[in-house]
Structure 1
Amino acid sequence: MTLALAVERDELIVDVPEHRPVRLPLSGRDRVSTLLFFGYPGRGRTRYGLAMLDESGLVMLQAPGSRSRGAVQAFAAEIGLKFEARVFDTAQQARVALARRSPRWQGVTWRRPPPPLPRIRVPGVRSLRPPMSSPKVWWREQLLYGLMWLVLAYGAVFVALVVINMTDTRAEVTRGMGPLGIAALALAALTVIGAVVVVGVGRRRSRNQTTQGRVLRRLGDPHCRLVAVHGRLLLETARRTREIDASTLLLYSVESGVTGLVMGDGLFHLPGYWDPRETERFATRNGLALTTRTLSREEYLDLTVQMKDAVP
C-alpha cells in the first residue's frame, strides 16, 4: 500500500490512501519512538509492512505492503527516531506483535484501489447444491441465486435479440421486444422485492443472534466476531473462519484505556472494544468461563507477549 510520511511541528503525519491523514505525537508520553520494518512468511512469498511503535514497543499504527527499507531508515534517522528491521519466523508471531496496541493506537482500514473494470460474478455451481447449512440460511441463498439466474437469462435473451436484429434485418424478431420489455419490468420488481426480503431478514437475524448470545462482535475495524454454532466456537475475520478450542474468556481493560479479549489460556488475543454486557451474555449462553480484569501497564505488556496467536 502507498504510504507517505512527513513531520509537522511535533507530529508524525501518515498520509493513508482513501483515509484522512493520521497524526501521531513525536513528543510527550506515548509518543512515536521506533519505525519497525517487518516481514513474515505468507503464501508463497514473504509479506512486508511498516509499524510505528511507542517507547514500550506497542503498536500505534501498522501499514501492510512492501516499501524501501533504505528510505524508511533514512527518514527515521532524519527525524531522530529509532529504526528496527525484524523478520518474524511465522505469521502468528507477527500477528501477536501487531496486536499489542498502544494507548495512542490508530485504526486504519486499508483498502485496495478499485479494479479498472468491474468483476462479472455468476452464480456458479454452488447455487445448485443441496442445503449444507441451516435451512433458514439456505432458502435466502437460493432466493438470491434464483434472482441472479433470472438476470443472466434475461441478459442473454436480450443480447441474442439485438445481435439477430443487427445481422438479419429481415427477421421479425422485433415482435419479441414487447414481451421482453414486460418481462424486464417484472424482473426488476422481483429483484427489488427479493433484495428487500433478503436484506431485511438478514438484519433481523443478525440482531437476534446478538441478543440471544450466539454472536459476539468487536466494535470497529478490522472485522472480527465470535460465533457459536452447534456447540462449536468459531472465530470469524475478514479473511477466514476457524474453529477455536477454548473454554475461557478474559475481558481486560488497561488503566491507559486499552481494551481487549483473550480466548483460552493465552490462545488468542483479540484487541479492541468488546461490549461487556454482550460478552457476558455470550459467555453465559455458551458455557464459557468469563473473567473481567483491569490491568496495569506492566501486566498488559506481560500478558500480550505470551499469546500464541492474535487478530490485530
Structure 2
Amino acid sequence: MDVRLVPCGGAIAGAPCPSTVLSWDGDALTASADGESVRVRPASLYHYFYDQVMEAPDSGSSTQLVTGLAALDADGLVMLDLPANWQPSQVRDFAMQAGLPLVDGEREPGPKVRSLLSGRAPGWRRLHGLGAPRPARWRMPLIYGAGLAGLVLMVYLVSAGLGTAWRGLATVGMLLIDLIQVKWLMVAFSPMLLAVGPIRAGLRRRRARMGAIAGPPVGPNLSITAAGGLHIDQGREKLPDIAIGHADGGVASLLLYQHEGLSGLFVMDGRNQPLHHIPGPWSPDDLHRFTERNRLGLAVHRITRQEYLALLRACRHASP
C-alpha cells in the first residue's frame, strides 16, 4: 500500500508551498524534498499549530501562525519535523490509511506545542522542502559593481563639498528601491553595506569573548537586558525576557547537555527546574564566559534518556 500526502501551503501565511512529499509504504514513513529523503518508523503523527510573535517594521509586533506535521517516537520525541500547511482532512485520511495514531494539536496551548517540538529524538531531522534560492550568475558581480560605483560617486561628491547632493541622491535611491522592489540596488546607495557583514561578525565575536553574549553565530543568542533580565535573541521572533534571580521563575543557572548525539541548553531556576529549552549547538567556552560575567551557574552534563524526558516534561517554554 502506497499512501501519499503533499502540503497545500507554507508553514506561515504567504510563504511558498514546500515541495515535500510524504508517503507510507506499509512499513515506514518517507519524506522527500529537494533531492533529500528521510525514512522513519514513527509511533504517531502530530499536526501542530502555534503562534509566533514577530517584530514589525514599525517597532511594534505581529503574530503569525506556524503549522506543520511531526513524526513522533514512542516517547513523544520528534523524529522528523515537516513545517508546512497540511490540509487537516487529508492528514486524517493519510494517518488512517497508514494506521498511525494522529494527535491534533490545533487547540493545544502554544507553549505546550513549542515544548513538545523542542524534544528531539536521536537522528532528528527537519525538512523545510524549500530549496535554497540560487541567484542569477550576473547578480553578484552587478551588486558589487553597483556598490563600487556608489562608493566612488560618494567620495567624489563629498570631496567636492557636495555632501548634500549625495544625501539627496541616496534618498532618491532608497525611494526607488522601495518602489521597484529591487533590494540589491541598496548597495549602490549605501556602499558601506558591503562591509557591514564582516564588521558585524567581528563585533559579535568580540562580545562573545567578553561574555556579553553566548550562542551560535546564526542564533539563537543569550544576552542580558539593561533591566537585568535574560534575553533570548531568536532573529525577528520576540520572546519575553526572563528575570534573573533565585525567586520563583527567575534564572539561576544554565544546563548545557548532550544526549545520544543531541545537544542543547536548559535555562534553570533556583529550584533546579527548567524554565526554557533551546535545542542545538552551544559553545561551552562562550557559556562559561557569559555565566561568569553575569553571576549565573553553569552545569555541563551528558544526560540519560530518562533525565532528558524528565526535563522536557517539566519545561513549559521552548524554542523549537
1:224 alignment partner in structure 2: 220
Shift, 1:13, TM fit: 2.6
2:266 is the alignment partner of 1:257: no
State the alpha-carbon separation in 1 of the partners of residues 82 and 283 from structure 2: 27
C-alpha change, 1:13 and 1:203, in structure 2 (3 Å) is same
Where do 1:1-312 residues align within 5 Å?
1=10, 2=17, 3-7=20-24, 11-16=28-33, 19-26=34-41, 32-40=42-50, 48-108=67-127, 150-153=169-172, 188=188, 191-192=190-191, 194-218=192-216, 223-230=219-226, 231-238=228-235, 239-245=237-243, 246-254=251-259, 256-265=260-269, 266-312=274-320
State the alpha-carbon separation in 2 of the partners of residues 101 and 148 from structure 1: 51
Q: Name the SS of the counterpart of 2:105 in structure 1.
A: strand
Q: Name the SS of the counterpart of 1:273 in structure 2.
A: coil
State the alpha-carbon separation in 2 of the partners of residues 232 and 292 from structure 1: 22
State the alpha-carbon separation in 1 of the partners of residues 32 and 299 from structure 2: 39
C-alpha change, 1:282 and 1:80, in structure 2 (3 Å) is same
RMSD between superposed Cα atoms in Å: 3.4
State the alpha-carbon separation in 2 of the partners of residues 113 and 298 from structure 1: 37
C-alpha change, 1:213 and 1:9, in structure 2 (3 Å) is farther
Which one has a larger percent strand, Structure 1 or Structure 2? 2
State TM-score, norm by structure 2: 0.64
Aligned residues: 240
Cα deviations across residues 9-50 of structure 1 (Å, max 9, x unaligned)?
96533234xx54340323xxxxx2211123346778975431
Q: Contact conserved, 1:216 with 1:225, CA < 8 A, in 2?
A: yes
Q: Contact conserved, 1:34 with 1:53, CA < 8 A, in 2?
A: yes
Q: Name the SS of the counterpart of 1:102 in structure 2.
A: strand
Q: Name the SS of the counterpart of 2:203 in structure 1.
A: helix
Q: Contact conserved, 1:248 with 1:263, CA < 8 A, in 2?
A: yes
State the alpha-carbon separation in 1 of the partners of residues 217 and 99 from structure 2: 35
Q: Contact conserved, 2:276 with 2:317, CA < 8 A, in 1?
A: yes
Q: Contact conserved, 2:83 with 2:127, CA < 8 A, in 1?
A: no
Cα deviations across residues 86-134 of structure 1 (Å, max 9, x unaligned)?
33442111111111111121134576999xxxxxxxxxxxxxxxxxxxx
1:160 alignment partner in structure 2: none
Q: Contact conserved, 2:105 with 2:113, CA < 8 A, in 1?
A: no
State the alpha-carbon separation in 2 of the partners of residues 286 and 294 from structure 1: 24
C-alpha change, 1:73 and 1:242, in structure 2 (3 Å) is same
State the alpha-carbon separation in 1 of the partners of residues 263 and 216 from structure 2: 11
| Larger-Rg structure | 1
Structure 2: any 5+ residue segments left out of the alignment?
Answer: 1-9, 11-16, 53-61, 134-164, 177-186, 244-250
Shift, 1:215, TM fit: 1.5
Q: Contact conserved, 1:39 with 1:48, CA < 8 A, in 2?
A: yes
State the alpha-carbon separation in 2 of the partners of residues 264 and 90 from structure 1: 22
Fraction of identical pairs, as percent: 26
Q: Name the SS of the counterpart of 1:66 in structure 2.
A: coil
State the alpha-carbon separation in 2 of the partners of residues 46 and 208 from structure 1: 36
C-alpha change, 1:248 and 1:156, in structure 2 (3 Å) is closer
Deviates more, 1:298-307 or 1:226-235: 226-235
C-alpha change, 1:61 and 1:156, in structure 2 (3 Å) is closer
C-alpha change, 1:260 and 1:41, in structure 2 (3 Å) is closer
Which one has a larger percent helix, Structure 1 or Structure 2? 1
State TM-score, norm by structure 1: 0.65
Q: Contact conserved, 1:214 with 1:229, CA < 8 A, in 2?
A: no
